[in-house]
Amino acid sequence: MDNRLDSQPLRAGGVTVELDRSTRVAALRYFDGATASTLVRTVLGEPLPEVQRVIRSASTAGEPFILAWRGPRETWILAASEGPLERLEAACAGKDDVCLVVQTDGILGIHASGTGTPELLRRLGSFGSVPHRGEARTGRFADVAVTVLGLDDREALLLVERVYAEHLLGWVRETLLDMNGGE
């Protein structure tokens, strides 16, 4: 079985799965969510998301980004360009209560879209780990820890440690092979 990370999208069962190699990722680490939220609002114009929530930048923003709750002391920032991360990193410099850890290339995104997306997700992980729209849930998918962002009812972004991406994709590939007609 070929588990290589190739860029061809996989399509079956009403869902399209694509590797996202271009998104930049960073982890904002902090001791106190309120102070960190103030900083982020100043830099990016949005506060930190609440527990298990996602915040997407306003469509008018020049450089789009996504903020995803990861833990009481951690929020992930995803951006299509370097700008938001660079500005955050600069704002954190010299602070002793908040820091930015770049994770680009370390965390890979796998984008799933289409009517079959919920069917795919519940074959990877259990119910409580699958997010609704606007949620960020980290749970056990394909036996590895995956943070899933519910971008829409039929659209999800799976964020996984790059070293496990081939394993997750292999599981997704196997699942899609059996999903041709849906359940």
Partner 1 sequence: MSGTRLGEPYGRRIDRSRPISFMFNGRVLAGLQGDTLASALLANGVRLVGRSFKLHRPRGIFAAGIEEPTGIVDLVDGRHRTPDERATLVELVDGLAAESVNCWPSVGFDLGAVNGWFSPLLPAGFYYKTFKWPGWRPFEPAIRRMAGLGRASLERGGEVYEEISENVDLLVAGSGIAGLAAAAAAAEAGARTVLLCAGREPGGALGWRGDAEVGDLLVRARRAGVRILTRTLAFGVYDHNLVCASERLAHVPASATRRLSERLWKFRARSIVAAQGAFERPMLFPDNDRPGVMLAGAVDEYAHAYGVACGRRVVIAANCDSAYRVAESLQAAGIEVVALLDRRPSVDIGTHAAGVRAIANTGIGKVIGARSVRGCVAVPADGHSAPRLRLECDLILVAGGHAPAVHLHSQAGGRLRWLAESSMFVPDGNARGLVSVGACAGVFGREAAAQHAADVGRALALGFTVPAAPVGGASRSLASSRIAAVRGKQLVDLQNDVAVSDVELAARENYRSVEHLKRYTTTGMATDQGKTSNVNALVLMGEFTHREPAEVGTTRFRPPYSPVTFGALIGRRVGALYRPLKRLAAVEWHARHGALFEQFGNWSRPAAYPRSGESLHQAAQREALTVRRTVGLFDGSPLGKLEVWGADAARFLDLMYLGTMSTLAPGQARYGLLLNENGVIVDDGIVARVDERRFWVNTTSAGIERTAAAFEEWLQCEYTDLRVLVTPVTSRYGNATISGPKAFEVMAAAGFGAEFSPQATRHMTLHDGHWRGVPVRVLRASFTGELSYEINLPAGETEQLLQALAEGVETREGCLYGIEALEILRTEKGYLHVGTDTDGTTLPGDVGFARGIDRKAANFVGRRSLLRPAARDPQRLRLVGLAPLDGRTLLPTGAQIANAPPPTQTEGHVTSSYPSPSLGSPVALAMLARGGERLGEQVTVHHLGRRIEARVVSTPFVDPKGERLHG
Partner 2 sequence: MMQIPCIYCGPRDESEFVCGGTAHLTRPPLESDDRQWAEYLFFRENPKGAHLERWRHAYGCGQWFNLERDTVTHEIRAVYPITQAAPR
Token match 């069962």: residue?
A: 13
- For partner 2, the closer of residues 29 and 87 by Cβ is 29
**118-157 footprint of partner 1 as x/- string (CB under 8 A):** ----xx-xxxx-------------xxx-------------
Question: What does 139 interact with, of partner 1, partner 2, none (CB < 5 to 8 A by kind)?
Answer: partner 2
Taking the C-alpha atoms of residue 20 and residue 158, their distance in angstroms, rounded to an integer, is: 10
Using CB under 8 A, which of 5, 34, 51, 163 touches partner 2? 51
Kindly state the smallest distance separating residue 59's Cβ from partner 1, in Å.
Answer: 29
Dihedral, 168, 52, 120, 3 alpha carbons, nearest 10:
-10
- For partner 1, the closer of residues 61 and 163 by Cβ is 163
Residue 55: other Cβ atoms inside 10 A: 20
Whole-Å CA distances, 161 to 38, 43, 107: 28, 27, 5
Name residues whose C-beta falls within 8 Å of residue 170's C-beta, 6 or more positions apart in sequence. 1, 3
Is residue 7 at the binding interface for partner 1, with CB under 8 A as the rule? no
Q: Which two tokens stand for residue 155?
A: 């659209």
Taking the C-alpha atoms of residue 67 and residue 46, their distance in angstroms, rounded to an integer, is: 9
Using CB under 8 A, which of 4, 59, 60, 62 touches partner 1? 4
- For partner 2, the closer of residues 71 and 106 by Cβ is 71
Q: Which two tokens stand for residue 148?
A: 């899933």
Is residue 126 at the binding interface for partner 2, with CB under 8 A as the rule? yes
- For partner 2, the closer of residues 69 and 84 by Cβ is 69
Element (H, E) at 140: strand 136-141
Q: Which residues bind partner 1 (CB under 8 A)?
A: 1, 3-4, 27, 29-31, 73-74, 96-97, 99, 101-107, 122-123, 125-128, 142-144, 161-167, 170-171, 174-175, 177-178, 183
Chain contacts with partner 2 (rule: CB under 8 A)? 51-52, 70-72, 126, 128-129, 137-140, 144-145
